[in-house]
Structure 1
Amino acid sequence: MINRIYSVLLLCLFVCCACSSDRQQVEKLFAQADSLLNIQPDSALRLLQVLPASQELSRSESARYALLLAQATDKCEKPLFPCDSLLDIALDYYDNDEKECALALLYKGRLEVEMDQSERAVDFFLKGLKVIAKFPEEAETHRHLLSSLGNEYYNANLYERAGRAYRELYKYCTAYKDKAIALNSLASYYSAIEKDDSSLVLKHKALKYARMAKDSTIIAMSAHNLSVDYYWRDLPDTALHYAQIALQWYFGGKMQSHYYAHIGRVFWDKERTDSAIYYINKSLEESTNIRRRAAALLDLSNIKEGQGDYKTAIAYLQEHVSLIDSLYASDRSTEIQKLIHKYDIQTKIHAEKERSGNLLRNMITGFVLVCLLIILFFRARINKRKRMQRVYEERLAQTRKELSILQNSIEESQHIITLLQREQSGLMQEKEQNQKEIEEREARITKLQGEKINLRNWLFKQSAIYKKIMKLSEQKVSDKKELSVLSGDELEKLTETIFDIYADYIAEQKSRYGKLTKEDLLYLCLDKMGFSSQAISLCFGNIDTHALAQRKYRIKEKMQN
């Protein structure tokens, strides 16, 4: 039996160690991928793509994995569609007060851009900007959101909004590279609103910042933009100059074929057809993009047609048509994929609406149940108070009946004492016997009066106002100003109760001392019951006994006079 227990404990320990080791391995892999994102994004992507098959992730790990995978995929310029469900997990996990939420919204928006869902993309970008505004130090995420938002506005021909987004983007740029990118975007806005001179100035400024940053890709992009600008201004020599700068600084990538095609068109415009054919063929060799290859083939066909080589021109044209057909099929496939994505979005929206409806129904049901419980609770309390009130009234009636009997007995005894005292002067012989009887009667009266006082006190202790006074007298506070006192209504209730229970004592005092006020009589009753000076002061609405001492002094004077 002991061996079995040891075996189970060892197994549990092994499982815990294995889980801990797996967690550490995942964390190490995430850290490694994060460090590779900016320098070798393709390596980071390969590293992340093997993870789900070998490791089950928690919600927090899945959310972080989604962000890392989306960043690596985006930096490798690959479609974000495979990250869709993972980004949904990240958006569900991160709250709106976390910077990771803004990052998830950024890549979710870029995914929607790929799916031609511009409105949803803008919505995600705006939400991301609202979240990232809480983190001024996250300038990079802010730049990416503003850049993507500005591009969507630009593509939707909302140029003024695009311009505002690009200007805001420039404010968040401190590095020369970022400034160059922002200025190129702003230049495209000025071109769209036909402010070509302003656009040209900004493009030159962007090239200047790119050279200061010593970033070959940005230098090539800025030079290419200037070349295109001068090409459309019919300045082919200047356009050729900047096109050659772009090729000189671009060291391979998906844009190289685009640069080759552009410089080929510039040479064609300068009627240097051999150079044009050379660079357009280079574009054709470098490009894997169907649209660019089709455009290059069409340019070659037009050049050959201009040279009178119709056979070669037709061959190029046939290849162009073939690529256009395949492009149509590819676009059709992409459209189907977009429709599937749109259907998935509608399904998610429907599910969310259904969940919200169920939540609302559950909230209403819960609210109704809570209201019913509250009603039942207060109903039970009211019934309990009514029962207690009936018991109190019955006890009060019984006590009053006993008080009446005692009062009659007291009055009868006093009457007998009076008669005996009158007879005493004429009956000296019976003096001793009568004196003894008088003492017995007086003792009985004293006893009855004591019982009467006890009954009065007991009756008063049954009242709610007595409990309130006791609660006030037991207060423990550090500052006297925090002491609670009886309200005006409660004092009135106390006076009514005291005058009802101690009516005969009050009548006696009033007959003996006619100058006593209602408050004086109330004080005498409370003092007779043994309440402390502090408790009596609280009854009269005072937190100290100074006013009570003055009242005692005035009562004493009234009794002496």
Structure 2
Amino acid sequence: MKRPNLILYLLLLSFWACSPDKHLETIFRQADSLLAERPDSALYLLETLADTCNLSASESAYYALLLARATDKCEKSLLPCDSLLDLALDYYDSDQKERAITLLYKGRLEIEMEQSERAIGFLLEGLDIIRNYPEEIETKRHLLSSLGNEYYNARLYEKAKNTFDELYRCCYTDKDKAIALYNLGHYYSIIGENDSAIFCQRKALEYGVMQKDSAMVDLFTGKLSAVYSAQEQYDSALYYAKQSLLWHSQKEKPSVHYNNIGHIFYLKDNLDSAAYYMNKSLEDSSRLSLKEKASILLNLGCIKEEQENYLECTDLLFQFIEIVDSVYRTNQSTKIEQLVHQYDIKEKLSRAQQKNESVLKNIVAAFIFGGLILVLFFQYRINKQNKLKIVIEQNLRQARERYKNLEHSIAESQRIISLLQKKQVDFSQENERYKLEIKEREAIIEKLTFEKENLRIWLFKQSAIYKKILRLSTQEVNCKKELLVLGNSDQKKLKEVVWELFADFISDMKIHYSLLTEEDLLYLCLEKAELSNQTIALCFGNTDTHIIAQRKYRIKERMNRDYR
């Protein structure tokens, strides 16, 4: 419906605002008919109606469903629908399909406000109701899709997989199957089953190509590119990134796609191609989100730094800082909205508590009783953990004493070897016996040194900073940019622990290789502690192992110069 015709239609409706219910039903049917193809027109109609009509309970409930559907289809915030959805929940019975639809949009509203626990509760309740209505397959698919995504966000991956398996069984069109397979592929990529992830993503891509749906093919090829990039199969990642670019809508400039291609070239160390595509993505920066633009500017700054173009690098980094400040201010505004919504929820709970004082007294009594039980239980757990902590501290003290004894034994053995070597000159007749004893002592030293190294690594692994490093190394994210790294304070703690445990190793390296910096020595100690390049990168506050490769090269050069 064209906008002038729609306005004329609304003017006619304004004359019927206080007319019998059949006119209101006509308005609702008109809005319902517009939802499929013109949801923006339906939303405009419903928002105007909300300001001119006084609705009954049943009309308010139905109006809430129509408004929520139109708002969701227009990809707008569901916050204005919150109070209306609450009215609908109060009106519809627990076995009505309309309640399940209301719960779907209530759950999505809570997802928008990052209230994941409440959202999952609403979606599960809606799913229980809608299973009694086999004909409502569309609503069931939407509930399963939203619930599966929330399970992903909560890292309940097995539940997410089961949900999307059920979603796949509900699909009867190739398009729906493609979406379900895409989500299953995302699950397998998260748990590290890359072959299964690629299989599902390729199957989803086949369905998308058969449907000739450019938006779906664009999405699926982009995801395949990301999966291959995560596996460091950059040629395959580049192929699918370019395929995504080919399927991209010609109505919009493919800024994000150019950025993805540039990032892959950057990972391949092809800096010129990376800079070319990243600059192309910035040609129409209005198509990029602030975070995407900031990421591109940061990557370009790194490229210019590696190319030793420090003037352009500084300019790019200044632009990056300006965007980060803007994002921070936007996030602060969003947090205020969330706090307001949380305050509204508390107000509703308070009113409900006033209506049910007798019930709440029993609940409070039960809660207090349960709280006492929990306090006793946690006190028991705390005491048990304290005892365990004491045992661990005793073991650590014994290990440190053993470590000192080993150092003393090694030093004593070295002293004895020195004496034996001196005597060897004076007493040639005992040369063979001394040689044998020297070999035995050297074998003892080698064994003690090996034991010392193992104990040194064990002591390092018992430290709190190592356990934090271990948690960082086991992160599961979609993109390297989302990895958490070790902060400055934790890096200082790590340095203190390493300097204490590897003091002799560090001293020896300083004697032989005076050009090595403290950062070089820290890297050598972490490598000696059997940490992977990725984990060492996180310890230095980086997510890219390319930085570690550069450091190894510089260390090798400095050692060679010292040797010469």
With the shorter chain as reference, the TM-score category is 0.5 to 0.7
Among 197, 200, 205, the alignment partner of 1:202 is 200
State the partner residue of 2:185: 187
CA 1:135–1:328: 2 relative to 1, 3 Å: same
- Contact kept, 8 Å, 1:109 with 1:124, in 2: the verdict is yes
**Unmatched tracts of structure 2, length 5 or more:** 1-14, 362-564
CA-CA distance at 1:257 after TM superposition: 4.3
- Contact kept, 8 Å, 2:258 with 2:278, in 1: the verdict is no
CA-CA distance at 1:344 after TM superposition: 1.6
State the partner residue of 1:424: none
Q: What's the secondary structure of 2:93's corresponding residue?
A: coil
Larger radius of gyration: 1
State the partner residue of 1:273: 274
CA 1:254–1:355: 2 relative to 1, 3 Å: farther
State the partner residue of 1:314: 314
Aligned mates of 2:284, 2:168 — CA distance in 1: 33
Mean Cα displacement is larger for which, 341-350 or 201-210?
341-350
CA 1:306–1:32: 2 relative to 1, 3 Å: farther
State the partner residue of 1:36: 34
Q: What's the secondary structure of 1:137's corresponding residue?
A: coil
Among 236, 242, 245, the alignment partner of 1:244 is 242
TM-score, structure 1 normalization:
0.57
For residues 275-354 of structure 1, the aligned pairs below 5 Å read 275-282=276-283, 284-287=285-288, 289-354=289-354
State the partner residue of 1:65: 63
State the partner residue of 2:120: 122
State the partner residue of 1:54: 52
State the partner residue of 2:357: 357
CA 1:257–1:43: 2 relative to 1, 3 Å: farther
Q: What's the secondary structure of 2:29's corresponding residue?
A: helix
Aligned mates of 1:80, 1:178 — CA distance in 2: 24
- Contact kept, 8 Å, 1:268 with 1:276, in 2: the verdict is no
CA 1:351–1:192: 2 relative to 1, 3 Å: same
CA 1:53–1:231: 2 relative to 1, 3 Å: same
- Contact kept, 8 Å, 2:35 with 2:70, in 1: the verdict is yes
State the partner residue of 1:84: 82
Q: What's the secondary structure of 1:50's corresponding residue?
A: helix
Q: Give the partner amino acid of 1:314.
A: T
Per-residue CA shift, 1:46-96, capped at 9, x if unaligned?
232222123332222222222222222222222211211111111112212
Q: Give the partner amino acid of 2:185.
A: A
For residues 248-263 of structure 1, the aligned pairs below 5 Å read 248-251=246-249, 257-263=255-261
CA-CA distance at 1:357 after TM superposition: 2.7
Aligned mates of 2:284, 2:116 — CA distance in 1: 31
Per-residue CA shift, 1:335-387, capped at 9, x if unaligned?
122122112212212221221236899xxxxxxxxxxxxxxxxxxxxxxxxxx
- Contact kept, 8 Å, 2:218 with 2:248, in 1: the verdict is yes
- Contact kept, 8 Å, 1:283 with 1:296, in 2: the verdict is no
Q: Give the partner amino acid of 2:170.
A: Y
Per-residue CA shift, 1:179-201, capped at 9, x if unaligned?
11111111111111111100110
CA 1:94–1:250: 2 relative to 1, 3 Å: farther
CA 1:80–1:145: 2 relative to 1, 3 Å: same
- Contact kept, 8 Å, 2:262 with 2:275, in 1: the verdict is no
Aligned mates of 1:262, 1:22 — CA distance in 2: 58
Aligned mates of 1:39, 1:250 — CA distance in 2: 22
State the partner residue of 1:104: 102
Q: Give the partner amino acid of 2:103.
A: L
- Contact kept, 8 Å, 1:284 with 1:296, in 2: the verdict is no
Per-residue CA shift, 1:510-533, capped at 9, x if unaligned?
xxxxxxxxxxxxxxxxxxxxxxxx
Structure with the greater relative contact order (CA < 8 A, sep ≥ 6): 1 or 2?
2
- Contact kept, 8 Å, 1:305 with 1:313, in 2: the verdict is yes
State the partner residue of 2:174: 176
- Contact kept, 8 Å, 1:230 with 1:236, in 2: the verdict is yes
Aligned mates of 1:115, 1:103 — CA distance in 2: 19
CA-CA distance at 1:35 after TM superposition: 2.4
Q: Give the partner amino acid of 2:329.
A: A
CA-CA distance at 1:283 after TM superposition: 6.3
Q: What's the secondary structure of 1:54's corresponding residue?
A: coil
- Contact kept, 8 Å, 1:261 with 1:283, in 2: the verdict is no
For residues 207-218 of structure 1, the aligned pairs below 5 Å read 207-218=205-216
CA 1:357–1:261: 2 relative to 1, 3 Å: same
**Unmatched tracts of structure 1, length 5 or more:** 1-16, 362-561
Identity across matched positions, percent:
47
Q: Give the partner amino acid of 1:55.
A: C
Q: Give the partner amino acid of 1:119.
A: E
Aligned mates of 2:300, 2:26 — CA distance in 1: 52
Aligned mates of 2:247, 2:186 — CA distance in 1: 22
Q: How many residues matched?
A: 344
State the partner residue of 1:516: none
CA-CA distance at 1:176 after TM superposition: 0.6
State the partner residue of 2:475: none
Per-residue CA shift, 1:143-163, capped at 9, x if unaligned?
111111111111111111111
State the partner residue of 1:450: none
CA 1:232–1:85: 2 relative to 1, 3 Å: same
CA 1:88–1:227: 2 relative to 1, 3 Å: same
Mean Cα displacement is larger for which, 119-128 or 95-104?
95-104
Matched, 1:161 2:162: no
TM-score, structure 2 normalization:
0.57
Aligned mates of 1:166, 1:219 — CA distance in 2: 20
Q: Give the partner amino acid of 1:325.
A: D
Q: Give the partner amino acid of 1:320.
A: F
CA-CA distance at 1:165 after TM superposition: 0.8
CA 1:336–1:38: 2 relative to 1, 3 Å: same
| Structural RMSD (CA) | 2.5
CA 1:258–1:128: 2 relative to 1, 3 Å: farther
Aligned mates of 2:173, 2:60 — CA distance in 1: 33
Aligned mates of 1:343, 1:18 — CA distance in 2: 38
Q: Give the partner amino acid of 1:83.
A: C
Q: Give the partner amino acid of 1:27.
A: E
State the partner residue of 1:472: none
CA-CA distance at 1:217 after TM superposition: 1.4
- Contact kept, 8 Å, 2:263 with 2:274, in 1: the verdict is no
- Contact kept, 8 Å, 2:225 with 2:241, in 1: the verdict is yes
CA 1:278–1:19: 2 relative to 1, 3 Å: closer
Aligned mates of 2:253, 2:59 — CA distance in 1: 35
CA 1:298–1:348: 2 relative to 1, 3 Å: same
CA 1:25–1:323: 2 relative to 1, 3 Å: farther
Aligned mates of 1:279, 1:39 — CA distance in 2: 34
Mean Cα displacement is larger for which, 24-33 or 318-327?
24-33
- Contact kept, 8 Å, 1:261 with 1:296, in 2: the verdict is yes
Aligned mates of 1:25, 1:312 — CA distance in 2: 66
Aligned mates of 1:207, 1:349 — CA distance in 2: 46
